[in-house]
Structures are given as structure tokens and as C-alpha cells.
Amino acid sequence: MTGLITGSRVRLRPAAAPDAARFEEILSHPEVARWWADAEEPVAAQVSYLLDPDEGTTTYAIEYDDVGNTAVIGIELAFEEADPQYRHAGIDIAVHPDFQGHGLGSDAIRTLAEHLFTVRGHHRLVIDPAAGNEAAIRLYSSLGFRPVGTMRSYERGPDGSWHDGLLMDLLVDDLVPAAALAGS
């Protein structure tokens, strides 16, 4: 699952070693760390994993042409279940706060979802924001993801405590068309 994926406004480029510093900068920002950080895993270790993830997982640098310059504005991950009986894929994302609120995260998620459906042949996607991550849940809902249920004490946060996650899923016919999204 390699190659450039072009969205309406962003491009998804498979991540590579030179992305390390920018990924560290994005994940270290308090507005991102709040939802991504783990008390027991330093950011550098998170970045090492992103650049060399488990089989079935692909990390993308989200690129955006910002006043003539190509900027890496975020990180997006796709993981694919290998067992054919349970075939599905999952997505995770972080957008640098300087670029949030402009419809770019929405385009990045929608673009990867469409790729996973049409190119990779999945019929079902999942995403699992922290139950308290209202902005992310609102965004995923606007793209067609539906809440499945609360996963109690699912994820360890930056303070070391376990917090709930919301499992959301999206079937192929649920994905909202690009033309229906703000800023498209």
C-alpha cells in the first residue's frame, strides 16, 4: 500500500525518515499530545514506530500546498486487519494546530477512507477517538462514521491514567461525498 494519494486539498505521502523531525514537532504540540501522548512512551519512540510500523500499517505525511510551499501539516495512519474473515481497516490522524479548523483533517480522513474502500477493497473502516475528544468525534460523524460503543478504560493518556475510547465505524455506503464537505 504505497504511493501518493491525492485528495481534494491534501496529499498523503508515505512517511520516510526525513519526516522524523516534523512528526516529533507535531506530536509534541500540547494540543496534539493531549490526545496522542502516552505517559510511558517518549515522543521519539512514537515517531520511530510511525516510521517503521508493524506489518499492515502504513504511515502517511499529510502534505498541503501552503502559499506556494509544500508543508507537512499532519500525520495519518492506516492499519489493515490481515484475517480475511474480519477484514477491515482503521485510521488515526494528527493535524498540526496551525492548520486545524480549515477542513484539511476532514479531507485527509475522507481521502484515506476512499482509498481504503476503492483501492484496497475494504468494506468497513474503524476509528477510535478518546471518548472526550469532542472535536474529533464531531468531525468523524460529519464524514459518516457512526458510534459503535464506548470502550471502557481503553487507552492510557499522558497523565498515565486509563480513559474511555469511542469505537466508530464506517461502511462503504456511509462515506459522505467530497462535494458535500465544507471547503471542498
Ligand X SMILES: CC(C)(COP(=O)(O)OP(=O)(O)OC[C@H]1O[C@@H](n2cnc3c(N)ncnc32)[C@H](O)[C@@H]1OP(=O)(O)O)[C@@H](O)C(=O)NCCC(=O)NCCS
State yes or no: residue 28 binds ligand X (CB under 6 A): no
SS (H, E, C) the chain: CCCCEECCCCEEEECCHHHHHHHHHHHHCHHHHHHHCECCECHHHHHHHHHCCCCCEEEEEEEEEECCEEEEEEEEEEEECCCHHHCCEEEEEEECHHHCCCCHHHHHHHHHHHHHHHCCCCCEEEECCECCCHHHHHHHHHHCCEEEEEEEEEEECCCCCEEEEEEEEEEHHHCCCHHHCCCC
> Binding to ligand X (CB under 6 A): which residues in 63-92?
92
Q: Of 125, 139, 143, 170, which one interacts with ligand X (CB under 6 A)?
A: 139
**Nearer CB in complex with ligand X: 70/121:** 70
Nearer to ligand X, 110 or 122 (CB): 110
For position 32 contacting ligand X by CB under 6 A, the verdict is yes
182 binds ligand X (CB under 6 A): yes
Report the nearest approach of ligand X to the CB of residue 30 (Å): 10
* Residues near ligand X, by CB under 6 A: 31-32, 35-36, 92-95, 100-106, 129, 133, 135-136, 138-139, 142, 182-183
